[in-house]
Amino acid sequence: MPMTTSNWKSSQLIHYTIFQQRLSKTIQVHSLYRKRRRMKREMEMKNLKLLMENRSIIEENERLRKKAIQLQQENKALISQLQKKFSHQNNTIC
C-alpha cells in the first residue's frame, strides 16, 4: 500500500510527538539533576557553616572553662586570706 501524503503527515506527527515527549522527559531529568546538585551544594555550605559555628562555640566554652577555674582559684585564695585574718583577729581578742 503506497503512503499517501496524509498518511505521511500523520506518521511524521506521531514521530514528532514521541520526540517531543522524550525531549521533555530528558529536560525534566536534567532539571532534577541540576536541582539535586544545587541542593547538595547548599547542604554542604550549611553543614560547613554549622561546623564553624560549633568550633567557635567549643573554643568559647574552653575559654570560659579556663576563666571559671581561674576565678575559683582566686576565690579560694581570698577565702583563705579572710580565714587567716579572722583567725588572727580572734586570737588577739581572746
Question: What letter represents residue 10's amino acid?
Answer: S
Residue 10 has pLDDT above 90, yes or no: no
Structure-block grid coordinates of residue 34: 541540576
Instruction: Evaluate if pTM is beyond 0.75.
Output: no
Residue 65 has pLDDT above 60, yes or no: yes
Q: What is the pLDDT of residue 88?
A: 78
Which residues have C-beta within 8 Å of that of residue 3, sequence separation ≥ 6? Answer: 11
Burial 2-36 (b: 16+ CB within 10 A, else e): eeeeeeeeeeeeeeeeeeeeeeeeeeeeeeeeeee
Structure-block grid coordinates of residue 88: 588572727
Residue 79 has pLDDT above 60, yes or no: yes
- Quick one: what percent of the chain has pLDDT higher than 90? 68
Residue 60 has pLDDT above 80, yes or no: yes
